[in-house]
Structure 1
Amino acid sequence: MKQTSFIAILLTILMLLLVMIAAVVFLVQRNQELTQMVEIQSSDQETMVEMSEDMATDLAVRQAALESAEATREALAGQITVDQERIQELKEELSQTESSLSQAESEIQDLAIQLFIFSPKDGAVVPPLEPVELFVAARSDAGIETIEITIDGEILVRYPSEGQPTSTIRTEWAPPEGEYLIEAVARDGDGRLSEPESVTIRAAFSTPAARTSALLRLTENEVIALRFPEPLETMVQPEVVEVNPDDLHQLLLTGRGVEESPFSDDDVLVLQALDLLPADTDTDDLINPAYDGTTLVYYDPDAEELTFYEPGDQPETFGRWVHIHDFTHQVLNETFQLDALEISSLDRDARSAVRALLEGEATYLQYLYAKGDYLEAEQQSEIFEGLSAAASNTMDDLPPYLQDEFAFAYSDGLLFVQSLHEQDGYSALNEAWLKLPESTEQILHPDRYRAGDRPLPVTIDPLGEDFENWRLVGEDVLGEYQLRQHLQALGLATNQIDQAATGWGGGRYVVYQNENNGDLILQLRLAWDTPEDSSEFAATYGTLLSQRYDGQGVALPGGDLCWEGEDATCLLTPAGDILIVRGPDLETVNAIVANQ
Structure 2
Amino acid sequence: MKSSPSTATVLILLVLLLVVAAGFVFLFQAELRFRDHLRTLSAENESLQATQAEAELELSAAVATRDAVAADLAAAESDSLTLEGQLVESQQALDALNAEVETLRGQLADVADQQQNEPPVARIVSPLEAEALPAGQPVQIVLVAGDAAGLSALMLDVNGRRFSTYTLDGEKLYARTLNWNAPAEEGEVVLTVTATNLNDVTSAPQSTTVTLVDTEARNATIRAEVEANVIAMRGLEPTTPITPTVLTRDALRQRLENDFAAEITPEESQADVLELSAFDFLAADFDLYAAQLALQSESIGGFYDPETAEFVVVSDGALLDPAAQWTHAHEFVHALQDQHYDLEALTDEALDSEARAAVRALAEGEAELVQSLYLFDNDFFTEEEIEAIRNNTGGEEQADLLNTVPPVLINDMIFPYTAGVDFVVELYREGGFAAIDAAWANPPRSTEHILHPDRYLAGDAPQIVALAPLTATLGAGWELVDEDIMGEFYLRQYLAQQLPASAVGRAAAGWGGDRYAVYHNAAAGALVMALRLVWDTPADAQEFAAAYADYPAALLGVVATPQPDGGNCWVADEVICLAQVESESFIVRAPDEATAAAVMAAIRGN
Q: TM-score, normalised by structure 2?
A: 0.55
1:537 aligns with 2:544: yes
1:567 aligns with 2:574: yes
Corresponding residue to 1:344 among 341, 346, 349: 349
Q: How does 1:486-525 map to 2 (within 5 A)?
A: 486-489=494-497, 491-525=498-532
Contact 2:302 2:327 survives alignment (8 Å):
no
Count of aligned pairs: 363
**How far is the alpha carbon of 1:515 from its aligned partner?**
3.8
Matched with 2:492 is: 484
Letter in 2 for 1:260: E
**How far is the alpha carbon of 1:284 from its aligned partner?**
4.1
Equivalents in 1 of 2:500, 2:515: separation in Å? 23
Matched with 1:474 is: 482
Equivalents in 1 of 2:521, 2:213: separation in Å? 68
1:211 aligns with 2:213: no
Corresponding residue to 1:465 among 455, 468, 472: 472
Q: How does 1:119-138 map to 2 (within 5 A)?
A: none
Equivalents in 2 of 1:209, 1:284: separation in Å? 35
Equivalents in 2 of 1:311, 1:208: separation in Å? 10
Letter in 1 for 2:279: L
**How far is the alpha carbon of 1:311 from its aligned partner?**
8.0
**How far is the alpha carbon of 1:206 from its aligned partner?**
8.4
Distance 1:581 1:311, change over 3 A: farther
Equivalents in 1 of 2:473, 2:540: separation in Å? 34
Letter in 2 for 1:270: E
Equivalents in 2 of 1:565, 1:576: separation in Å? 28
**How far is the alpha carbon of 1:279 from its aligned partner?**
3.0
Equivalents in 2 of 1:311, 1:402: separation in Å? 27
Distance 1:278 1:206, change over 3 A: closer
1:522-568 deviations in whole A, cap 9, x for unaligned? 00111111111110110000122222232321112342111100101
Distance 1:449 1:391, change over 3 A: farther
Matched with 1:358 is: 363
Letter in 2 for 1:526: L
**How far is the alpha carbon of 1:389 from its aligned partner?**
5.5
User: Structure 1 regions of 5+ residues with no counterpart?
Assistant: 1-204, 235-243, 299-309
Matched with 2:262 is: 259
Q: How does 1:81-100 map to 2 (within 5 A)?
A: none
Equivalents in 2 of 1:258, 1:224: separation in Å? 36
Matched with 1:54 is: none
Corresponding residue to 2:426 among 419, 429, 438: 419
Distance 1:388 1:371, change over 3 A: farther
Distance 1:292 1:522, change over 3 A: same
Equivalents in 1 of 2:285, 2:261: separation in Å? 26
Contact 1:258 1:292 survives alignment (8 Å):
no
1:553 aligns with 2:560: yes
Matched with 2:141 is: none
Distance 1:292 1:456, change over 3 A: farther
Corresponding residue to 1:228 among 225, 235, 242: 235
Q: How does 1:49-64 map to 2 (within 5 A)?
A: none
Equivalents in 1 of 2:223, 2:331: separation in Å? 12
Contact 2:540 2:583 survives alignment (8 Å):
no
Q: How does 1:163-312 map to 2 (within 5 A)?
A: 207-228=214-235, 259-261=262-264, 264-291=269-296, 294-295=299-300
1:377 aligns with 2:383: yes
Q: How does 1:429-444 map to 2 (within 5 A)?
A: 429-444=436-451
Contact 1:567 1:585 survives alignment (8 Å):
yes
Structure index of larger Rg: 2
**How far is the alpha carbon of 1:292 from its aligned partner?**
5.5
Equivalents in 2 of 1:592, 1:264: separation in Å? 26
Secondary structure of 1:569's aligned partner: strand
Contact 1:442 1:448 survives alignment (8 Å):
yes
**How far is the alpha carbon of 1:350 from its aligned partner?**
1.6
1:311-346 deviations in whole A, cap 9, x for unaligned? 866862221111112111111111212233352112
Contact 1:329 1:358 survives alignment (8 Å):
yes
Q: Among the aligned pairs, what percent are the same residue?
A: 36
1:580 aligns with 2:583: no
Secondary structure of 2:262's aligned partner: coil
Matched with 1:81 is: none
1:365-411 deviations in whole A, cap 9, x for unaligned? 11111111233323322322445669823333321110111011111
Corresponding residue to 1:368 among 353, 368, 373: 373
Distance 1:571 1:311, change over 3 A: farther
Secondary structure of 1:288's aligned partner: helix
Equivalents in 1 of 2:500, 2:285: separation in Å? 25
Letter in 1 for 2:452: H
Corresponding residue to 1:332 among 327, 334, 337: 337
Equivalents in 2 of 1:568, 1:506: separation in Å? 24
Distance 1:397 1:390, change over 3 A: closer
Equivalents in 2 of 1:334, 1:455: separation in Å? 28
1:161-211 deviations in whole A, cap 9, x for unaligned? xxxxxxxxxxxxxxxxxxxxxxxxxxxxxxxxxxxxxxxxxxxx9844333
**How far is the alpha carbon of 1:348 from its aligned partner?**
1.6
Equivalents in 2 of 1:288, 1:361: separation in Å? 25
Equivalents in 1 of 2:530, 2:447: separation in Å? 20
Secondary structure of 2:559's aligned partner: coil
Letter in 1 for 2:286: T
Equivalents in 2 of 1:388, 1:518: separation in Å? 40
Secondary structure of 2:339's aligned partner: helix
1:343-363 deviations in whole A, cap 9, x for unaligned? 211212222111111112111
Contact 1:473 1:511 survives alignment (8 Å):
yes
Deviates further, 491-500 or 530-539: 491-500
Matched with 1:322 is: 327
User: Structure 2 regions of 5+ residues with no counterpart?
Assistant: 1-211, 240-244, 304-313
Equivalents in 1 of 2:598, 2:214: separation in Å? 75
Contact 2:365 2:417 survives alignment (8 Å):
yes
Contact 2:558 2:572 survives alignment (8 Å):
no
Equivalents in 2 of 1:511, 1:347: separation in Å? 17
Letter in 1 for 2:269: S
Distance 1:311 1:360, change over 3 A: farther
Letter in 2 for 1:212: N
Report the aligned-residue RMSD. Answer: 3.2
Equivalents in 2 of 1:395, 1:321: separation in Å? 23
Equivalents in 2 of 1:493, 1:424: separation in Å? 36
